[in-house]
Structure 1
Amino acid sequence: MATHALPDPVIRPGTPVDVDVPGLAAALRARVDGEIRFDDGTRAAYSTDGSNFRQVPIGVVVPRSPEAAVEAIAVAREYGAPVLSRGGGTSLAGQCTNTAVVLDWSKYCGKLESVDADEATCVVQPGIVLDDLNRQLADTGLRFGPEPATHMNCTLGGMIGNNSCGATAQRTGKVVDNIAALEVLCYDGTRFWCGRDAEGGTAPHTPHRGQAPRPPADDEAYAEIERHGNRRAAIYRQLRHLRDTYAERIRETYPDIPRRVSGYNLDSLLPEHGFDVAGLLVGSESTLVTVLRAKLKLVPVLKERTLVVLGYPSVDKAAEAVPAILPHEPVALEGLDSKLLRDERIKHLNPSAISKLPEGRSFLMVQFGGEDIEAVDKQAQRMLDDLHDSPHQADVAFLDEPALETELWQVREAGLGATAHIPGKPDTFEGWEDSAVAPDRLGEYLRRLNALYEEFGYLSDTGPSLYGHFGQGCVHTRIPFDLYTASGVATYRRFLERAADLVVEFGGSLSGEHGDGQTRGELLPKMFGEDIVHAFGQLKAIFDPQDRMNPGKVVAPHPLDDNLRLGGDWSPATPQNLFFRYPHDGGSFAQAANRCVGVGRCRQQTTPSGQVMCPSYQVTREEEHSTRGRARLLFEMLDGHSDGPLTDGWRSTAVHDALDLCLACKGCKTDCPANVDMATYKAEFLAQHYRRRPWRRPRAHFSMGWLPAVAQLVGRLRLSRLVNAVTHTPPLSRLAVAAAGVEDREIPLFAGEPLQRWFARRGPRGDGARGTVLLWPDTFTNHFHPHVGQAAVELVESAGWRVEMPTAPLCCGLTWISTGQLGVAKKILTRTVRALAPHLHDGGLVLALEPSCTAVFRADAPELFPEDHDVRRLRDQTVTLAELLTDHSPGYRPPTVDGAKALAQVHCHQHAVLGWDADKRLLEQAGVDVERLDSGCCGLAGNFGFEPGHLPVSEACAERVLLPKVREADPDTTVLADGFSCRTQIHQLDSGGREAVHLAELLARPAREEGRR
């Protein structure tokens, strides 16, 4: 081929390849510094992204450096294997799923290699997470501008691949506008820096220094590149020829709108854009090159911000106000409709922020920013003055509380997860979730889009919702496509074809943020015409003539209804004899396993404020140890596809191994936007995995699962001293640990007198003016920490309640649930419910002190027995100590704990099921200055930290935030932890000897001190 000629375009639609997989895997292991994973479990975990599509990878490579990735691609090239470069795996158009060798950059290749604050640039590796990058840049006063809703877990490599935007793009533009240079690798091994700040000449081969050279990319630089006569020079010559051939058609065809993300950025090659090869490669979705490093342009952090929310009667009216607002130069301009808010209310998301919205059924969130708050507020006021008495006048809420403003942005960012799996609504899917038009045509476009929804039967009072980056004409939505039947899939195809025609009619873009991938690749001719799509194929052939870079996406794409994760032929197993009833999923375990929409919130490397999910991922950084990865494995376990990697159902060792490090913290039940409940799924899996073969269970399941029965025996026979002596006297303690099959860590001491015996001896006291409450003697309070129960009894009686306590040895079944012994758990729980029924029938409250046991009554029991009325009563009448003293004790004021400061480690089950708002209110009333730790799960998580092989993860979870905060705390600061496991973890792992206390102990302290005086 002549170096000046354009190659024939790649036109093969996803050419299948015959790869020597064992040889490829062996060569990768021998030559690549990284983790090489070709096992079925890993392949199942990476089989899909956030889209409708599914393709099982050949294998996964987790390189430890960009240079290791270079070697991995060299090996793949020798074996002819396709390659897919993947970041956070949240793509919504199928670009992060393929039958290829997947390079996962997110575990090791996340370094910020250099920063030039004067130049306002930095050099990063592709696996760095956006929020982590901006945290590291905080001291410079700079940040990377584009910020998609997945900023807490998306990687810069993924953002470059998709040309991401987000709400901040109103101020900073798309990723393509913020790239100074890229270091890239072609499939054939050609490696070079490109972009306006990149060097002319050969690529630097000492990139570990993190410095991208920066001569200008003008004709002189181009001449220098061509002078070398190498493969890079040939690429640049062909790119110039491609540009010159199609320049006029590019100018005519590419829509002049802020959010054109569809198609390759051929416009970056135009002379007016400086022949920017890096700009060309942004948004190419791993189909042209692999990005090894990026030099990013940074912007100043806005010191002051003001948010104005405008309420309108309909979403199209809100959209029509956008052109009147844009001249005031907001830094963000977002729109959302009442249907999104309704979905969030149903899922109990962001309630306080939603309550502060102005009147209206649709809203614009208009943010202004700058250096001076007075100037920013004036800018906002000028906008309001201009809107006053205009057709776009709105009801106004002026929000200047930073916490409330942050929560309101979460309302908008929660859109994708909030609109998936809404109770009482059909499932919704991507497909047409990010179209874009010119902002001044947005109102009309939304009316036509709604008409299209109605024509296809997708429009109803319940959806689909509309929201998005209205200031740039980008619309987000999830649509109730029927992707379960052949006819539904056919309708899905027809809708996408009609929707593409509609957006082209408006001069818009099929994608305004999420890219083309497979969803829109087939539709690109409608937007660009056949000649430009032909140019796309030629561009692909310039960089990747063998079609080995993410084949079947963008160019020569698979059909938009091929490789569907569901589809008319999806036929999963329908497990029978389930223990949990899955009332939120129509009784279907398959639907429960299919809840995950791939948004990746579980992959956050740090625990966001007030969240727990997902502690094991935060420690291991492994996809299969995230909630998403485990959900994918469970989905694949049901074997609904002919090419499924997991074929042994409930007996799957791959699923077992992935679930083994799930702490069953239940954080995902609340923190996951789709409310995936992995703790429940794990318990079900363990129950089914060991069904009819209990001898295969680890000994720890019996020693830990049957702990309540052992504790009751120890208490009844008064053996606590003997047992404590055995378990705390070497070498007997080591023998005890070995016999129990648990980790070699301190076994908690049994109390000398259980709580029930103490209460029977003491008896109830007080006048009971508020009525009678039954205090639940959970195993941990009863047999290990009865002092907690004693403090609670005294406190509750002082509040005017009469306390009663069961005398029988009852249990909620928690330990049997967490070890997957669900048959026993159901029997235990049934006995308990029947014993409590008379109290419940009288409307009596049940006070539970241990959060994990309380969560059984409030969540697990109703999901095991959803139709049992007494179980429902138990759910509704079980209260925490704080709820009893606030919500059910009007006029009560807790004892004042003068000058007290506390660090609160909120139990993960309390966070997920019970909430901590009542505790916070009660502590404030008591005068306690409390800081809730953003520590997530303590790491012990019931039996998890005692099971063999879990100690390193358990300790690592505690060392992330909890233990350092405890060690740093002033000696007079109380460490507050209602969970027995949290108190035990602190007791055993804090070398400073700090002991945590229960809320009851803290609030009972003043009365006890007064009594001692």
Structure 2
Amino acid sequence: MAIGTVHKTEPRTTLQEDLAAEVDGEVRFDAGSRAAYAHDSSNYRRPPIGVVVPRNVEAAVAAVQVCARHEVPILSRGGGTSLAGQCCNEAVVIDWSKYCHRLLSCDPDARTAVVEPGICLDDLNRRLSRHRLMVGPKPSTHDTCTIGGMIGNDSCGASAQAYGKMTDSVVRLEVLTYDGLRMWVGETSDEEYARIVAEGGRRAEIYRELRRLRDDNLALIRTRYPDIPRRVSGYSLDQLLPENGFNLARALVGSESTLVTVLRAEISLVPVPSYQSLVVLGYDDIATAGDAVPEIAACEPLALEGMDDYLLDLAKSQHLADDETLEKMPKGAGWLMVRFGGDTQAEADGKAERLMETAARSSTPPHRGFVHDPADEQRLWRVREAGLGATAYPPHRPDTHEGWEDAAVPPDRLGDYLRDFQALVEEFHYDPVTLYGHFGQGCVHTRIPFDLSDREGVERYREFARRAAKLVCDYGGSLSGEHGDGQSRGELLPLMFGDEVVALFGRVKGIFDPDHRMNPGRVVDPLPLDKYLDLPGYHPKRQYLHFSYPEDDGRFIHAAARCVGIGKCRSTSGGVMCPSYRATREEEHSTRGRSRVLQEMMRGEVVRDGWRSTEVRDALDLCLACKGCKSDCPVNVDMATYKAEFLAHHYERRLRPMSHYTMGWLPVWARLAAHAPGVANTALGLPGLDRIVKRLGGIDERRELPRFAPERFTDWFRRRPPTMTGDGPAVVLFPDTFTNSFHPHIAKAAVRVLEAAGYRVRVPSNPVCCGLTWISTGQLGRASKQLRRTARMLAPAVRAGVPVVTLEPSCTAVLRSDAPELLPDDENVARVHDGTLTLAELLDEHQEAEGGTSPVASHDVVAGLDREPVTALAQPHCHQHAVMGFDADTRVLRRAGVDVDVLDVGCCGLAGNFGFERGHYDVSATIAEQGIWPAVRNADPGTAILADGFSCRTQIEAGTDARPRHLAEVLADLLPEERPS
């Protein structure tokens, strides 16, 4: 039987129809869904037969039963972040993560919990936090990985130093075999074993065969498994040994969905450390740091991580941490990051101080740093956790890949292994590579610039993998210390275990899954490590593109394939991305899912209609173009730009949705309405007429249309007496459409603030626009024309050293990010890019120069006005978060005496035209209800709600009683009252 062709060739519609009829869940065999699940976080690509998203455990059981009846393979999938190819296969994928994420019970006294397999680790730990308990293992993907996936992969993470692998956390598992046996398994006493065998049936058969396999091979199992902390490769037959209690649950951990389907899990929990401390030790090189591991590990830290100078350089170049944080790293070219815990801060600090003393007495004393600030500690720790994303696309160097990224050796031999491994890398001319990982347990992570684009490069990769595997085995290590075997290492297992143990793996597979329907081609009868690689032979022609994609060599295919599958876009809290995923919990609505669909569109095999594809259009429809992924994605996927590019091609010379003509052309309609704003507002407010306008305009009827201001800001400014413009340094205030036509009071407040700071305000005499609404709707030709015109008007001022000050964050982001990528050869656009500042950035620079003496800068001046203390709750605009950041705003507000709390609740959910468009309201409101609306409703009375974005203010007003304000308004209110001259 050939691996990969085990399913029958009967029409798929029959399978699909039976699944749809018998499974309480979502059954998808469409091209878009198959494209979204064709990849995991590895080098491999295997479009599935179809996808089932069960609404409960019983539905998943029904799905397995239907697949068994049709004799098709199945694959259980959690977060889909596997790095070795475990989570992509030609099978029916069962995605547990959308619905099956319940915490079924928790026993705080016994420190155990029973959970469904789709529950995310961070979500589970949040629910357990009230008991001061947590799951021990914590992989770097803790905000997206699921407990089921951690069981399938035997996950570890940095905390495994103290708490062990997932194997050590599993108490019992409820499992389902492909042929329908459902049972709870765990440690099995002799009495329990006898009872099970006496009952007879399929369960007795499994237990009896496993016991016979164990008893016949006791010496082999005891001697061929490396005695190291991080042995993840192969099946855990050692858990069947008498000294381990014939623990069938733990023997199934790490089996990568090849033996059983996990339905529920009982896991042990550990206390959350009350206090933590961090010591960073700097060595001359990473191998010397490896030499020091045994001595440091003897101090029993919670975690002992290593990283080299190349990773730190990448962190600096990619701004993964601010310079001030990175400066806290001690001197060196290789570091150990050592974390301690304690019931008190004094206890945690005491352990850290004792380590500092121990390190100082060593034969090669390292440079030492004790991080006292918990915030600095977390920022430094995130640099280490961001290793995969930071190393995927090193600047000015070839892309890197997994394929040999997590081997583990005995910790006391780590330094020598690192030296030999570096020599091997140099021999193959793959250097430099960054080396980091869980050094306390001998686990080394790296990504290597394998050339997988042609046969010669793939053959070289194969040879390197074999040589690297032999090196690890010579050191008594494990091919995988964390990520599992999957397809990357499956065929290399005989080098580590020998043919006899690998033959035992085959016998275990035969006991549970004799027909090889469970995730075939993994562990047993593994596929070659170079089969189904994503890249070989895939060289599409360059196409005409609107954006320049400077980080992707001008190639849309590279941009679409930039996602490496980490899945951070699937997190449910913190940061901005991905708001639509948080609302729908759909893989296809995550940044990763959309990237995969676009990638498949470029391949033309699963998604065959290219730019005209309705599957791609549908996958992108719920993308808010919030740009959160541009900053929050570890590899800086910019889905807002990709969506605009796609829409431009998709609707080229075709009729567009009506919202593209209404919301997309808003600047034009605003200019026309300025001639009679009262008439326009009356028309929009008339009962019945407003519904017609919304229906014709593609706008959801539940949305209140914004009203035009009686007088635009530019008209008001033109009427001002010349004597009021001041005589200080000039600034150009950019009158964006939203501020100019809808909220001119904000621009007026900005004028007052700027003039109080000593600036002479100028406003363009002719209309200017950044083209945002045309960009977000993919009308890129029109956007380019508008941007060229605007840049031409602003360039003379910028050339003369006059800054352009913007008030609407989304417009600032266009001038700073989109415009240079849309018009890379336009010198005026480049000048405007360099000369554009937000109001906060200008004031922040001014305050630094003035030493805090400006009326809008000095807390002393503000306090002298005898005002009540000002507290504010700030919602940063998504585009500001992604492109400019909010630090300058925070500094300006705090210098002005405003106690500001910056929210971290994600996108508001309106996002320009998105929340207005018909079909988007429910998602928009769900996003708001998950974050901004409850945060505002729960704010203390008297708290100012600060939102610079027009969309954010509109959404807040739609769902709360608050009246949000712009930074300019808050600062203007802190100025002395204006008096007539």
In the superposition, the TM-score normalised over structure 2's length comes to: 0.97
Give the aligned partner of residue 630 of structure 1: 594
User: Are residues 765 and 253 of structure 1, via their aligned partners in 2, closer, same or farther at CA, if it must alter by over 3 Å?
Assistant: farther
Give 2:184's match in structure 1, choosing from 193, 201, 204.
Answer: 193
Give the aligned partner of residue 539 of structure 2: 571
CA distance in 2, matches of 1:264, 1:513: 14
* Residue 281 of structure 2 is aligned to residue 310 of structure 1: yes
SS in structure 1 at match of 2:68: helix
- How far off its partner does 1:849 sit? 0.5
Give the aligned partner of residue 17 of structure 1: 7
User: Are residues 551 and 492 of structure 1, via their aligned partners in 2, closer, same or farther at CA, if it must alter by over 3 Å?
Assistant: same
Give the aligned partner of residue 136 of structure 1: 127
Give 1:757's match in structure 2, choosing from 715, 722, 739.
Answer: 715
Indicate conservation of the 8 Å contact 2:48/2:93, yes or no. yes
* Residue 521 of structure 2 is aligned to residue 555 of structure 1: no
Give the aligned partner of residue 111 of structure 1: 102
Letter in 2 for 1:634: L
Give 2:31's match in structure 1, choosing from 23, 26, 40.
Answer: 40
SS in structure 2 at match of 1:103: strand
* Residue 627 of structure 2 is aligned to residue 660 of structure 1: no
Give the aligned partner of residue 682 of structure 1: 643
* Cα deviation 1:446-488 (Å, max 9, x = unaligned): 11111111011101xxx31110000000000000111112111
* Residue 926 of structure 2 is aligned to residue 956 of structure 1: yes
* Residue 564 of structure 2 is aligned to residue 605 of structure 1: no
Give the aligned partner of residue 890 of structure 2: 920
Letter in 1 for 2:944: T
Give the aligned partner of residue 459 of structure 2: 490
Indicate conservation of the 8 Å contact 1:519/1:560, yes or no. yes
Indicate conservation of the 8 Å contact 2:6/2:517, yes or no. no
CA distance in 1, matches of 2:588, 2:273: 37
- How far off its partner does 1:19 sit? 4.1
CA distance in 2, matches of 1:868, 1:486: 41
* Cα deviation 1:756-779 (Å, max 9, x = unaligned): 111111156568565111110100
Letter in 1 for 2:527: H
* Residue 22 of structure 2 is aligned to residue 64 of structure 1: no
Give 1:167's match in structure 2, choosing from 147, 151, 158.
Answer: 158
Letter in 2 for 1:837: A
Letter in 1 for 2:205: A
CA distance in 2, matches of 1:392, 1:627: 46
* Residue 512 of structure 2 is aligned to residue 543 of structure 1: yes
Give the aligned partner of residue 741 of structure 2: 783
Percent identity of equivalent pairs? 58
Q: Give matches, 1:75-224, under 5 Å.
A: 75-196=66-187, 217-224=188-195
Give the aligned partner of residue 557 of structure 2: 590
CA distance in 1, matches of 2:216, 2:43: 36
Letter in 2 for 1:1005: D
Indicate conservation of the 8 Å contact 1:518/1:560, yes or no. yes
Indicate conservation of the 8 Å contact 1:434/1:477, yes or no. yes
Indicate conservation of the 8 Å contact 1:766/1:801, yes or no. no
Give 1:733's match in structure 2, choosing from 673, 690, 693.
Answer: 690
CA distance in 2, matches of 1:599, 1:1004: 44
Runs of 5+ unmatched residues, structure 2? none
User: Are residues 979 and 1012 of structure 1, via their aligned partners in 2, closer, same or farther at CA, if it must alter by over 3 Å?
Assistant: farther
- How far off its partner does 1:15 sit? 4.4
Q: Give matches, 1:744-823, under 5 Å.
A: 744=701, 745-763=703-721, 770-823=728-781
- How far off its partner does 1:361 sit? 1.4
Give the aligned partner of residue 607 of structure 2: 646
Return 416-425 or 699-708, whichever deviates more: 416-425
CA distance in 1, matches of 2:241, 2:9: 39
Letter in 2 for 1:479: I
Give the aligned partner of residue 886 of structure 1: 844
User: Are residues 836 and 75 of structure 1, via their aligned partners in 2, closer, same or farther at CA, if it must alter by over 3 Å?
Assistant: same
Return 878-887 or 402-411, whichever deviates more: 402-411
Give the aligned partner of residue 677 of structure 2: 720
Letter in 2 for 1:720: P
Give the aligned partner of residue 941 of structure 2: 971
Indicate conservation of the 8 Å contact 1:765/1:797, yes or no. no
* Residue 698 of structure 2 is aligned to residue 698 of structure 1: no
**Alignment length, in residue pairs?**
966
* Cα deviation 1:726-750 (Å, max 9, x = unaligned): 1012011112212222111111010
CA distance in 1, matches of 2:935, 2:361: 54
Give the aligned partner of residue 6 of structure 1: none
CA distance in 2, matches of 1:190, 1:362: 51
User: Are residues 241 and 15 of structure 1, via their aligned partners in 2, closer, same or farther at CA, if it must alter by over 3 Å?
Assistant: farther
CA distance in 1, matches of 2:524, 2:652: 49
Give 1:934's match in structure 2, choosing from 904, 914, 930.
Answer: 904
- How far off its partner does 1:386 sit? 1.9
Give the aligned partner of residue 803 of structure 2: 845
Letter in 2 for 1:585: D
Letter in 2 for 1:789: A
CA distance in 1, matches of 2:31, 2:24: 21
Indicate conservation of the 8 Å contact 2:8/2:70, yes or no. no
Letter in 2 for 1:664: A
Letter in 2 for 1:601: K
Letter in 2 for 1:1001: E
CA distance in 2, matches of 1:676, 1:132: 24
* Residue 200 of structure 2 is aligned to residue 233 of structure 1: no
- How far off its partner does 1:245 sit? 2.0
Indicate conservation of the 8 Å contact 1:468/1:476, yes or no. yes
Question: RMSD of the TM alignment (CA)?
Answer: 1.4
Letter in 2 for 1:101: V
- How far off its partner does 1:77 sit? 0.3
Give the aligned partner of residue 49 of structure 1: 40
Give the aligned partner of residue 1004 of structure 1: 972
Indicate conservation of the 8 Å contact 1:268/1:280, yes or no. yes
Letter in 2 for 1:192: M
In the superposition, the TM-score normalised over structure 1's length comes to: 0.94
Letter in 2 for 1:542: I
Letter in 1 for 2:591: T
Letter in 2 for 1:28: L
CA distance in 2, matches of 1:863, 1:914: 16
Indicate conservation of the 8 Å contact 1:346/1:422, yes or no. no
- How far off its partner does 1:305 sit? 1.0
* Cα deviation 1:970-999 (Å, max 9, x = unaligned): 231000000001111111222xx2110000
User: Are residues 735 and 1008 of structure 1, via their aligned partners in 2, closer, same or farther at CA, if it must alter by over 3 Å?
Assistant: farther
SS in structure 2 at match of 1:328: coil
Letter in 1 for 2:547: F
SS in structure 1 at match of 2:630: helix
Indicate conservation of the 8 Å contact 2:42/2:402, yes or no. yes
Indicate conservation of the 8 Å contact 1:123/1:296, yes or no. yes
* Residue 406 of structure 2 is aligned to residue 434 of structure 1: yes
- How far off its partner does 1:14 sit? 3.9
Give the aligned partner of residue 205 of structure 1: none
CA distance in 2, matches of 1:673, 1:710: 39
User: Are residues 227 and 847 of structure 1, via their aligned partners in 2, closer, same or farther at CA, if it must alter by over 3 Å?
Assistant: same
* Residue 272 of structure 2 is aligned to residue 301 of structure 1: yes
Runs of 5+ unmatched residues, structure 1? 1-10, 197-216
Letter in 2 for 1:734: R
CA distance in 1, matches of 2:251, 2:20: 34
- How far off its partner does 1:416 sit? 0.6
CA distance in 2, matches of 1:254, 1:538: 17
* Cα deviation 1:577-632 (Å, max 9, x = unaligned): 211111111110011111000000000112x2xx1010000000000000000000
Indicate conservation of the 8 Å contact 1:185/1:289, yes or no. yes
Q: Give matches, 1:359-378, under 5 Å.
A: 359-378=331-350
SS in structure 1 at match of 2:392: coil
